[in-house]
Amino acid sequence: MAHTRQLCRQLVLRSSVLITFLLWATAISGHEMTPAYPVVKPSHVADVVKVEMSLFNSREEIEYYQIELFDLNWMNIPFSTTYRIIKIGYKERKSFNVYIRKRDMDEAVYLCTTSKVRKTNQSRTLVSSKICSRLDGEPA
């Protein structure tokens, strides 16, 4: 009986720690990029396709995000967009288009945004976040 109580106490303690961690992790979320599986559309340029994306900044200390395109092995793939580094204010959402050559679409898998941390003496943030959408439509 005493052994069962001890196991119950340990389970309650572990559950409490897990719930606390999950709530903490949710509270310090990075940024959001949608859609997770974007639709590739034709563009106004021959042999180039367009992906329409939206980015939301939920971090007060971050203003800049870098846009990148990778293959399955995380090697860079060339693309075009208005800005490679986009400025988004706290609690703001911005839409942007990414243009990719049709011949690169067989290799393109991940369209990512990475938060850019400013290097200042007053910056408390050391954590950079990267969020990726899958262009090949396959779950990770």
Computed over every residue of the chain, the mean pLDDT equals: 82
Query: What SS3 class is residue 65?
Result: strand
Q: Taking the domains of the chain in order of start, what are their residue ranges?
A: 30-134
| pLDDT above 80: residue 112 | yes
Q: Which residue has the higher pLDDT, 17 or 124?
A: 124
Q: Which residue has the higher pLDDT, 119 or 83?
A: 83
Measured CA to CA in angstroms, residue 119 lies from 17, 24, 110 at distances of: 33, 25, 27
pLDDT at position 21 is: 42
Q: Which residue has the higher pLDDT, 8 or 77?
A: 77
CATH of the domain spanning 30-134, picked from 3.40.630.40, 3.40.640.10, 2.60.40.10, 2.120.10.60: 2.60.40.10
Rounded-to-integer distance, Cα 87 and Cα 116, Å: 10
pLDDT in tens, 26-48: 445 567 888 889 999 999 999 99
Query: Could you tell me the sign of the dihedral formed by the alpha carbons of 71, 76, 82, 85, in that order?
Result: positive
Rounded-to-integer distance, Cα 32 and Cα 11, Å: 34
Measure CA 27 to chain center: 16
pLDDT in tens, 53-92: 999 999 888 899 999 999 999 999 999 999 999 999 999 9
Rounded-to-integer distance, Cα 8 and Cα 27, Å: 29
Rounded-to-integer distance, Cα 116 and Cα 66, Å: 7
